[in-house]
Structure 1
């Protein structure tokens, strides 16, 4: 009761005799319902760029980073309770907020909700000791989004495996199974090739770039937050003739395309030069394109041989 009276006194001192929701939120430093929905939707919809932008907006408006995590934790706790029970009175929500949270709950698995709650709880504890709270929270939000794929992919595989026997004859099923084995074998070979490529390419300059990459990210962030959000999804992969290759997972094609835009590319290149003293051009590719690069190199060698000896002499063998 004392805390409530004290809070009321603070609100009156801040806003006068007429107090509205936003006044209380300002005094407490809490997020508004709209702000909570925006950043939680970004996590649910797997949009790391949006999540980082919302976080930065809230911090710049004066919100406390610890309070943001507490608000998110309370929000996903409410989602969890509504997921396991049909009793709305388990959560204290406004009439406007309740249907929005129910909609979010319907789009998430209970396991993934548990992962989010656990991760946010860990972050809340770690914030007490870290000297870089914003970086910790940004990395944690991205980690939450990346973990979502591990809960979606198995379900997709189960559906596919169940559909094949029902839509094909037994003979067709065997053929499909054989094709799947071949496909899996091909994928394993591709993964092996990619691992071999990664092992070979370890130039001293590339290792120095990787070592200083967090500082490059921080430099980009100070200049343009959105570019930083896109760049966080990539990592240095190869450095050849002053061209730095950044790789992105296939799910982050949007982020790769944005970094390849001239203005963003120039900003990243300038930051690399400022931090490392290296003048490089950057090129963004998706991880699946790594082997394609090797094939292009092979074709280039064949073309050179044909130019030297003539196509009648050169015999191409698979």
Structure 2
């Protein structure tokens, strides 16, 4: 192939080229200078953040003929050979396709042989979490005490799937998502050296769409260059990434502020007709109002704005919208984003959200409302003063009653998914529940080891109350704990992986507050009894009293 993708051409060849991972590169450089090279490393982090690139740079640095040095020279035969892959002593393994015991045993047998061309034999195992349990066990002893001439570098995007016995034998480095400014800086360098004109707004759009991954950003830039005709413009970047322009978001925000339901729905129709992703649109709206809130409440933090440029339209709209309205918009769009995950008609939910926001905007008191209220209060005070001068008394109660009382906003309560719980109860068995309860304590310990202590605290007063072959119900004592646990996608994913590890199969978790669980369970039992024609509608009073005392779980009725 004559053409190579940008992310392959511009792959970092030195630690200084690795963007956004200074905490990792500095530690590795100091270890190289002080000759404190470990026998095993674990590089973990999101995709496209430089894990494999850093592993190859480290392999070059330890084998460089001009070392030990903080950077490989990239000129000696060792460095050039590792770069082009011609040196057999640096072995890259894809664990996704070589995840069996036999492949790891082959490594274990060959690791004792000395390297041929360089000082150290380096094994780079990518996506190591894909190895089977048997393969991990085969790797344990070799990873802990390899020969002096061998270095293992394991790379993964899901470190929670790696056994703790493997992690404890490695020096772990966590790669973080790269900031938008650092990604833009790297893209500017590339476009300048390749003589490709690209606007700053287009690069900002691409950087935000990459979500912290340099490889994703360069792939999108490569795609935008192919799509554009000469210069990469803002419209080209929006088309390639599927994002929504700020001007379009401002029009929708203005329609909400002006309480124009028709205009808001028309704009949504135009947006979806262009093939934009509804979930991406909601995300853009959330960040748009988030940036507007920061601009209003903390003008000095302009560098923290992620999705907007401060133009005249944005300034005017920010001055017109009160902070309370921004809170409501962010909350409404966030709830809609959660709801469309469980539906095949996301457009309906977005339309409902826009209509509600327009009605809220019309009902919310603005500055004119408060001015009118102050005028009425002043007028009433003048009338009271006139009555006092005439000798007519007025009670304090009547005076207080004339003033409007502040309305209390009801706190939104977490609503448990009744339909899902009823499905689980229909298929629930005691064996499945005992299996979950038997491993519950071990699951909490594994969550603590994965540095999720705050999430474990939510489960202190929670317990499994029903389980089927593919899901289980957890009862929470407090509504807020249930809501925080179920809305934390990282916690739910980690708990699902731990359940699969301990029980042997993956179960979906459904949370329910204690007070709602009692009602749901009673309704389910009554429904089941109504469906059975031979079941007596009236329960024996002695059995009913026993049920109140000990509960259904401990009650056993025998004829």
The TM-score with structure 2 as length reference comes to: 0.29
Q: Which has the higher helix share?
A: 1
Larger gyration radius, structure 1 or structure 2: 2
Identify which of structures 1 and 2 has the higher relative contact order when contacts are C-alpha pairs closer than 8 Å and 6+ apart: 1
The TM-score with structure 1 as length reference comes to: 0.50
